Amino acid sequence: MKYRVLAINPGSTSTKIAVFDDENPVFTKVLRHNAEEMAKFGGIIEQYEFRKKLVLDAMKENNIPIDSLDAVVGRGGLVKPVSGGTFEVTEKMLDDLRNPHLWGRIHASNLGAFIAKSIADELNIPSYIVDPVTVNEFPEIAKISGIPEIERKSLFHALNIRFTARILAKKLNKKFTECNFIAVHMGGGISIAAIKNGKIVDVNNALLGMGPFSPQRAGALPIGDLLEIAFSGKYKKEELLSKLAKKSGCIAYLGTDDGIEIENRIYDGDKKAELIMNAMCYQMNKEIGACAAVLEGKVDAIFLTGGLAYNPLVVKEVKKGVNFIAPIHILPGENEMEALSQGAIRVLKGIEPAQSYE
């Protein structure tokens, strides 16, 4: 039996939607939102009825009957730490997604669960989220930071990493739950994860705090020097957080976070661009090596994914640094809509159960 699923992926300036019949995409669209439209609302959660209407209008315009759906799945957002998998949307989940104190902020992806549940409830079909960024499968030892006041957090590109790991496991004719991988998601932020028997047992905080710098983010920094900047009086807390998360890394050194532009500058002989790109790869390779140690050297494969996996210069540098650890597979792109839809379809087909958020 085939199942039809609507996937919804809200971002700050767009809402991506797609309809899949099993693994086959039927319809995809990116709905753009300008700043004036968004400014009308008091906050992010208040946008959900507006975005829901745009989703339903797009379905109608493209002749996709709403009553042909078997489930609706939304991007996970900043829920409480959970294990990997597919979760049915509940009122408790929505309460947590409304709560800015859970993670210190509310992200546009939080809207995915609201839109999915609202549409699904009207059709009396299930609504889900899949592998939110807060997936946390750390053993206790990995949570220790160095001071009791701080626990290491798991905040990373879980959706694409777990989906791509499943693809690679199938390619290797292995069960996902029997694989040890090192996953390298390379986008505006970079996540490098140790996957042991299908669980992500360690990963750098891809937003702030650990790991390599990225096209936009600062990565791990010398603590003493960071404290000097923090207490210099030059930045308010919000300004410094924005600088470290959105205006650091390649964009700070080179004035751009565009991998293609940086690649072209290197080909044109720009030595600074080459140095910064190579330094980013150098730091990625150190983190990959750390994950190999976490897995005690038992690594079936390393895979590179995300937008920068299309960049041949990045791929070459990473391969050069870590190909002694395990075979390297290149699986570029973010694959978010496929990951969302297939997470829901696995549950609908009984391949795996829906996880309980409560």
Assign 355 to helix, strand or coil. strand
Q: Which fold would CATH assign to domain 158-330?
A: Nucleotidyltransferase; domain 5 (3.30.420)
d(CA 344, CA 74) in angstroms, rounded, equals 10
Residue 27: CA count within 13 A, CB half-sphere: 20
pLDDT at 101: 87
Distances (CA, A) of 64 to 21, 25, 50, 68: 12, 12, 20, 8
pLDDT at 208: 87
pLDDT at 350: 96
Residue in 27, 82, 26 with CA at minimum distance from that of residue 58: 27
Amino acid at 227: L
d(CA 310, CA 324) in angstroms, rounded, equals 22
d(CA 326, CA 303) in angstroms, rounded, equals 10
Residue in 2, 19, 87 with CA at minimum distance from that of residue 56: 19
273: left (phi over 0), alpha (psi -120 to 50) or beta: alpha
Would you kindly state where each structural domain of the chain is located, as residue ranges? 4-136+336-348, 158-330
If one counts every other C-beta atom within 10 angstroms of the C-beta of residue 231, the result is 9
pLDDT at 36: 80
pLDDT at 358: 82
CA 300 to chain CA mean position, Å? 23
Q: Which helix (H) or strand (E) holds 181?
A: strand 180-186
Residue in 190, 186, 211 with CA at minimum distance from that of residue 312: 186
Alpha helices in the chain (DSSP H): 35-39, 48-61, 91-98, 111-123, 140-143, 158-171, 223-230, 237-246, 250-254, 259-267, 271-294, 312-322, 336-348
pLDDT at 273: 98
If one counts every other C-beta atom within 10 angstroms of the C-beta of residue 243, the result is 15
pLDDT at 202: 98
d(CA 181, CA 76) in angstroms, rounded, equals 23
Same fold, 4-136+336-348 and 158-330: yes
As averages over each run of 10 residues, the pLDDT of the chain (358 residues) reads 96 93 95 84 90 96 96 95 97 95 89 97 98 97 96 94 97 97 96 98 90 96 96 96 95 96 97 98 98 98 97 98 98 95 97 93
State both tokens at 292.
């190999």
Q: Does domain 4-136+336-348 correspond to CATH entry 3.30.420.40?
A: yes
CA 53, 30, 13, 61 torsion: positive or negative?
Answer: negative
Q: What interhelical angle do 111-123 and 91-98 show, nearest 10?
A: 150
d(CA 203, CA 183) in angstroms, rounded, equals 9
Phi first, then psi, for residue 149 (nearest 5°) are -70, -15
d(CA 344, CA 351) in angstroms, rounded, equals 10
